[in-house]
Structure 1
Amino acid sequence: MRKQFQYTAAAVAAALALATGFAQAQDKPVQLKLSSWVPAQHPLNPSLQAWADDIKKASGGTITATLFPSEQLGKAFDHYDMARDGISDFSYVNPGYQPGRFPIMAGAGLPFLFANAKGGTAAIDAWYREYAATEMKDVKFCFAFVHDPGTFHARKKITVPSDIKGMKIRPATSTIGQMVTSLGGTNVQASAPESRDMLERGVADAITFPWGSIVLFGIDKVVKYHMDAPLYVTPFVWVMNKDKYNAMSTAQKKVIDDHCTTEWAEKVASPWADFEYGGHAKIAAEPGHEIYKLTPDQMKAWRDAMGPVEAQWADSVKKVGQDPKKVMDGLKASLVKYKAAL
């Protein structure tokens, strides 16, 4: 009797395996265009490729993907709309490149919130899932992530908020841009790939950027002063064209859903986090650069100067019918949960 049960169980398992393979064989092949605006050598790209390779494996080879780095499919500023319109099937998006369009996500770009990128990525992804379907309704949200905290890199030393007055600064996010304006500076809009040229030509005096990317984009050749403080992180999202997703089989949709999780956000973001963290030592080893820490009084001055920026963000959230206190309390609680609160 026991043997018969074993044979039956084995037969059922084999039948299930065959059925699964048959079902995957019946799924129509899907070819995905993945768009990344950072250069090919950027550490995010291998992570996105590994993510796509795992999707191919999980789908039995029915979902394959080609990654297009270096703005091949379109400019960095356009990546959200590219996913919406089907120019790309997945897009790497910096929501801060379109100030005012994504006010809830902009809250994650407020200064002095994130202590690190790995826990910070889990925190922002888990938090934003409550809002993504409303704020980014044109696309299918996959996951959110952040880079390791960035800071000011400039042609002159910036130690206190009043130093910003009269400066031309390329901000990483819309909220950093609001900070610059509130302190009497001028924002210079430029995507990451365009930033070195802006600084080299004197169109900008400073930039907010993470450490490793300063070297990657060659910006270390045109700035020499670096504030050693976790000023901000940039929130990013990985989003999908809705029509592409809806045209997939049920099994294929499940594969995509299984790869659009907080766990996958961490996997994709972690190598980049390590890369940015390592940039500090690279710049410190270069001659002619000054990396300086802030005194407790200087740090307090920066925190105190954030009041108008936080108020402006709160107003923008109220305009879309959300409670800014609830939104921010949720983000801060998530940061504490994932050990990433500053």
Structure 2
Amino acid sequence: MKIIRMMACATLAAITTGAVTAQEVTLRLSHWVPPTHPIQTMGIEPWVKSLSEASDGRIAVTIFPAQQLGAAPDHYDMARDGIADITYTNPGYQAGRFPIYSLIEIPFLADDAIGGAQAMHEWYAPIAETEMPDVKFCLANPHDPGTFHSKNPIKVPADIDGLNVRPAHATMSRFISSLGGGPVQVPAPEAREAIANGTADAITFPWNSVYIFGVDSETKYHLDMPFYISAQLLLINKDTYNGMPEDLRQILDDHCTPEWSRKFSEGWAKDEASGRQKMIDSGEHTLYAPTDEEVQLWRDAAAPLIEEWKTEVGADAQGYYDGYIEALERHDARY
């Protein structure tokens, strides 16, 4: 009888253990671009598929695109508050909130999104533990370097004076203001309307986004040089993460690595770069390649942003700066 009871207890323990091990989770992932955007098709969907495969289907992810769960600037708080379990966040949409991160946004630092993604992840992941303590940092996803696209030619910094420009993020907004321009703050999905209705004269975008968001019909002039980068982040709600079984948390951790940031970013980077040649082939757009002297004018105009950033960050700024530059150089992504 004692043997039977022991067998029954062992069986019950096995069943219970099996139930825990077999637990499944469904995560809600929110972003703000169209579902056909390369961010989803070349970044998010392969990442989600890999999560499913690595967990034998026990991790499922439901994707909510195009601001279905909330506006683009709200995605950090949506991850913090659990409105979504995972959010695709552009920290630059909230001026001044994440000052250390904003170093990524300064022009003429990074010129490659693929190596840059891995460098950004390695540099920012430990910083995020204190600058973004409300969420779990997962991935960095910069776009291919962007530039100015406008209704009329922009060749040198002085051409910005008097223009209304939709900036990519808060850092570009300050830069435009320093040149005498007026920043028009709207997220990417609303950019075309701002240009079409005359609210903005120009926009800062990577190349193929001009087509993706329909801005190609409004902007026919393009400054032909790599200029700035905007990095989006994949962030996870902490309660969601902590509530997952240990083995599933490990699988998620394995998909939140510098190597995954690189892999996640590669398709979008190449797609964005393709937009430049598309414009050339169309014959409908004018690309202006600045001279070396004109590039230096742009560099000189952007240089004060570094000192402003150091002042805002404070005593540790030089160390953060040196760490970022070292990571970019190590991954061959330094401008």
Scaled to the shorter chain, the TM-score interval is over 0.9
- 1:24 CA displacement: 7.5
SS of the counterpart of 2:26? strand
SS of the counterpart of 1:340? coil
SS of the counterpart of 1:236? strand
Question: Which of the numbers 278, 281, 286 marks the counterpart of 1:282?
Answer: 278
Instruction: Tell me the residue number matched to 1:244.
Output: 240
- 1:216 CA displacement: 0.8
Instruction: Tell me the residue number matched to 2:35.
Output: 40
More deviation in 305-314 or 80-89?
Answer: 305-314
**Long gaps (5+) in structure 1:** 1-18
Q: Give TM-score, length-normalised by structure 2.
A: 0.92
Question: Which of the numbers 131, 134, 149 marks the counterpart of 2:127?
Answer: 131
Instruction: Tell me the residue number matched to 2:4.
Output: none
Instruction: Tell me the residue number matched to 2:171.
Output: 175
SS of the counterpart of 1:123? helix
Once the two structures are superposed, residues 253-301 of structure 1 have per-residue CA deviations (whole angstroms, 9 ceiling, x without a partner) of 1011011001111111111011001010111122331001011111111
CA contact (8 A) 1:24 1:62 kept: no
Runs of 4+ in structure 1 off by over 4 angstroms are 22-25
Once the two structures are superposed, residues 9-32 of structure 1 have per-residue CA deviations (whole angstroms, 9 ceiling, x without a partner) of xxxxxxxxxx9xx75863422110
Distance 1:57 1:220 in 2: 39
Alignment of 1:190-205 (within 5 A): 190-205=186-201
Alignment of 1:97-136 (within 5 A): 97-136=93-132
- Aligned partner of 1:108: which letter? I
Instruction: Tell me the residue number matched to 1:26.
Output: 21
Question: Which of the numbers 321, 324, 339 marks the counterpart of 2:332?
Answer: 339
Instruction: Tell me the residue number matched to 1:13.
Output: none
CA contact (8 A) 1:182 1:309 kept: no
- Aligned partner of 2:263: which letter? K
- 1:152 CA displacement: 0.3
CA contact (8 A) 1:114 1:230 kept: no
After superposition, the Cα gap between the structure-2 partners of 1:24 and 1:294, relative to the gap in structure 1 and judged at 3 Å, is farther
Instruction: Tell me the residue number matched to 1:54.
Output: 50
Distance 1:300 1:177 in 2: 20
Indicate the percent of aligned positions where both proteins have the same amino acid.
45
More deviation in 306-315 or 72-81?
Answer: 306-315
Alignment of 1:305-316 (within 5 A): 305-316=301-312
Instruction: Tell me the residue number matched to 1:211.
Output: 207
Distance 2:51 2:68 in 1: 23
* Pairing 1:323–2:316 present: yes
* Pairing 1:271–2:264 present: no
- 1:129 CA displacement: 1.4
Distance 1:247 1:288 in 2: 53
SS of the counterpart of 1:129? helix
Superposition RMSD in Å? 1.4
